[in-house]
Each structure stands twice: as structure tokens, then as C-alpha cells.
Amino acid sequence: NAGVIQTPRHKVTGKGQEATLWCEPISGHSAVFWYRQTIVQGLEFLTYFRNQAPIDDSGMPKERFSAQMPNQSHSTLKIQSTQPQDSAVYLCASKDRGDERLFFGHGTKLSVL
Amino acid sequence: AQKVTQTQTSISVVEKTTVTMDCVYETRDSSYFLFWYKQTASGEIVFLIRQDSYKKENATVGHYSLNFQKPKSSIGLIITATQIEDSAVYFCAMREGEGGRALIFGTGTTVSVSP
């Protein structure tokens, strides 16, 4: 069990560019969550999927951010026209049905210059 | 709306002693789940312990235990016999039981354990 895999570990983009972050959940887990971590805001919930269907995206900024889960083995978080304030560590977590524990990936550190 | 508050920013303790961290939460649901997670210096976030709202008995796992005071909406974490490797940021979190809600985290408490 390799755990939750996030790629890339680090990403540097220029202001206005697009960034796509990838997450591979633990095999067999039914839910995938995206969080963003910054010093100022802490751990912020962004969105989550259950059985690949979007369940709650209440934490997602309405503009420029989107997430998808095209199959059970990966999810993507896309940020269009990145801004310096998007700089953060983006964390993906997965959860098995009937188990309340979240298993986190190591995160993708996004730096927008 | 659900909310989790950790007022202690940092705590320093000496190895082999006990450390207690506070957490209060807000929810309108009668059913909810409370958690503590640990983030190490490498950034890894791991689950430690959980308390279900309907359970009166405090959860205990290894040298982690909880002090669940439901009337006060409080869920404290107690670490006994601390070790250097317990130095980390500890996050309190809550998930409301209705409607498939996501886990919401507090701002974290940094614990430093010294020899």
C-alpha cells in the first residue's frame, strides 16, 4: 500500500499560468478530499468526491478552481490563471467506506511567482 | 455551521511528562465525530484518535487519550509519557454526521518536547 500519492511534490508557476495537481487515492477507497494549507488560513477544506461523484465543493473558490475525478484511481485539482495568493500546500486525502479516518498524501507545494 | 477552535498556539514540555491540548467545537447536529490528527515536521498528516459524539467513554489509543466534555463542546487531547518524536502540530477536527459532510480542522497546536 503506497498510500495517497500526490504529484508533483513541488510546482512553481508564473502569475496567470494554469496549474494542475494530481492525486491517486489509496486503492479501494471510496472518497477523495482536497484541502489547502497555508500559515494564515490553516487547513481549509476545498472539495470532495464519493464514488467519483462530487459531493461538496463549498470550500472551492468559485472562480479559477475546479476539481474532477474521472475514475476511481485519480483526481485532479486545476487552478486557472494562478495568483500569488494561491500559493499553498494542496493536500489530497482518501477514505474508505465505513472508516472515518482520512489518509493524507504528502501534498503539492504550489508557489506562484 | 460547524467550527473547530484551538486556542493554544504552542506548548513546550519536557520528555516523559504529560501534555494536554484543548479544542472546542460548534455544531447543530446531534451526531458528529471528533478527531485528532498529527502533522510531523516532514508535513505528513496522520490520524491519531477519534471520539464519536454518542459515546460517553473517552477514547484511548496507546499514549493518546481524549477528555470529551459534551456539555462544554470540548474534546481535549492528552499525551502521556511524551517522547521527542511527539513534537509536531496537533489538529483537532470534526465531521458532522448528517449529509455526508467533510472534515473541518482547527488551526493546530504546536507541541515541542525537549529532553
Instruction: Give the sign of the dihedral formed by CA B81, CA B73, CA B50, CA B11.
Output: negative
Gap from A104 CA to chain B (nearest CA, Å): 6
Tell me the pLDDT tens digit for each residue of B54-105: 999 999 999 999 999 999 999 999 999 999 999 999 999 999 876 567 899 9
Q: What is the pLDDT of residue B98?
A: 62
Q: Which of A10-24, A94-108, B100-114 has the highest mean pLDDT?
A: A10-24
The candidate with the shortest Cα–Cα distance to B86, out of B15, B4, B35, B2, is B15
Q: What would the mean pLDDT of A44-55 be, rounded to a whole number?
A: 95
pLDDT on residue B106: 96
Tell if the CB–CB gap between B102 and A48 is shorter than 8 Å: yes
Would you place residue B42 in the very low, low, confident or very high pLDDT band (cuts 50, 70, 90)?
A: very high
pLDDT of residue B74: 97
Structure-block grid coordinates of residue A60: 472551492
What would the mean pLDDT of B22-27 be, rounded to a whole number? Answer: 96
**Residue B40 and residue A104 in contact, taking contact as beta carbons nearer than 8 Å:** no
Q: What are residue B70's phi and psi, to 5 degrees? A: -60, -45
Of A43, A50, A106, the CB nearest to B105: A43
Q: Which residue in the block uniquely carries the three cell numbers 478552481?
A: A65
Out of B33, B102, B106, name the one closest to residue A45 (CB). B102
Whose CA is closest to A69, among A24, A108, A37, A35? A24
